[in-house]
Structures are given as C-alpha cells and as structure tokens.
Structure 1
Amino acid sequence: ERVAVARRGRGSVVGTLTVNVVGSAVLGVLLGLRDVSPAVTALVGTGFCGTLTTFSTYGNDVVRLVEERAVGRALAYLAGTLALGLGAAAAGYLLIR
C-alpha cells in the first residue's frame, strides 16, 4: 500500500481494493478446483487468502473516509469492494470449472 500512498496520496484506497479483489479471485479459483481436499481448501483459503486480503485496513479506510466527511466515497468504496470482490470470486470459480 505504500506505493499507492506515494502515487495517489494518503486518501488512496487503491492498494487495499486491489489486494482484496485479487484475494477474492484466488479464493474463487480455489473453490472451483475439483480434486482439492477440504483441509487444503481451508489452509489455502484462510491462510493464504486471509493473509493476502485485509479486512481491517478496508474497515479503517471506510472509517477514515467518513471522518474526512467523504461519505459518498466511503459508500462507493464499500459497494465497489463488495461488487468487485464477488465478481472476482465468481470469475475465478467459473474460469477454473
């Protein structure tokens, strides 16, 4: 995220959005694989994807935007992250199936 902050300024949420969408896509691919044991799915899903993505930073970004009175941006970020994350997970799942 340091790179995003350096390029776009302190108020940027691009880095967090990017890792969360990528993590969702990876999780979608993982869930679409047919011959993966539940243990591996749990390990990679919670271990790798959970480590890659960052819900706490996402929540902090939303609170910061609201505190900065950028409520419209906060709502767009909330909705955009949800839509892009679900879309990326679905695309990853369908791509591997």
Structure 2
Amino acid sequence: MMVAFVAIGGGLGAIARFLVSEIMNPKGSIPYGTWIANIVGSLLLGGLVVLRTKHVLPEFLWQIAGVGFCGAFTTFSTFGKETIILIQKNQLKEALIYVASSLLISISLVWIIFALFL
C-alpha cells in the first residue's frame, strides 16, 4: 500500500514541478522554475520532517507528501543539467549564483525549520 501512496504523491509532485517550470522558465534564461521548486520543496520537506518527528503526520501522509510529492517536485538531476547548460552558454556568473543560492537557501531553510520546531 505504501508504494501506492508514494506513486500518488510522486505523480502530483511531478505534475506540480512541470507546471512551475513551464510557468517560470523562460526559454534561454535562468531556470527559475527549478530553483523555486527546489527551494519550496526543501521548505516543505523540512516542515514535513518536523511533523513526522513529532508524530503528528501519519505514515501514509508522509509517504504521499514527503517521499512522493517532495521527491518528485524537487529535482537534483534537472538542477545539474541546467547548471551545465548555463556553463556551456558561458553564463558562468549565472551558473555560480544558481548553484550557490540553490544550496545555501535550501539547506538554510531546512536548518531554520529544524531549529525553530525540533
């Protein structure tokens, strides 16, 4: 049954990520959609981990939202691909800002959520 929960959440997360990218990623520009998906996904996953740790989030909701949705909504592979494309286009400053801000903001948000609520 857990596989079904992960599949449901994963399907919804993949659709949400696709829509965010379609709306936010202008062709030939900085990949804002992936950046937003990874930042929001990190924040959401941090909150879900807090709820799970405090035994507020039932297992099936963790599987749907944490494992499925957040797992499909955030994407390291696309982040890597988009970074390489920026480098290939000689947009080195944009690539550096993209990588540094993605990592710094995502990890900082999770740390803040944990520090405030765990």
TM-score, with length taken from structure 2 = 0.67
Equivalent positions of 1:35-54 (< 5 A) are 35-36=55-56, 39-40=59-60, 43=63, 44-54=65-75
> Cα deviation per residue 1:7-58 (whole Å; 9 max; x = unaligned)?
xx42122111101001100111111120157955862332111111121211
What residue number does 2:47 align with?
A: 29
Q: Which residue of 1 aligns with 2:36?
A: 18
8 Å CA contact retained: 1:25, 1:88: yes
RMSD: 2.3
What residue identity is the alignment partner of 2:34?
Answer: T
Among all aligned residue pairs of Structure 1 and Structure 2, give the percentage whose two residues are the same amino acid.
32
Q: Determine the structure 1 residue equivalent to 2:91.
A: 70
Amino acid at match of 1:92: I
Tell me which amino acid in the other structure corresponds to 1:4.
M
Q: Tell me, yes or no, if the aligned pair for 2:39 and 2:106 is still in contact at 8 Å.
A: yes
Q: Which moves more between the two structures, 46-55 or 76-85? A: 46-55
Q: Is residue 2:104 matched to residue 1:83? A: yes
Secondary structure, counterpart of 1:11 in structure 2 = coil
Unaligned runs of 5+ in 1: none
Aligned with residue 56 of structure 1, among 74, 77, 80: 77
Q: Which has the higher contact order (CA 8 A, sep 6+)?
A: 1
Equivalenced residues, count: 95
SS in 2 for 1:60: helix
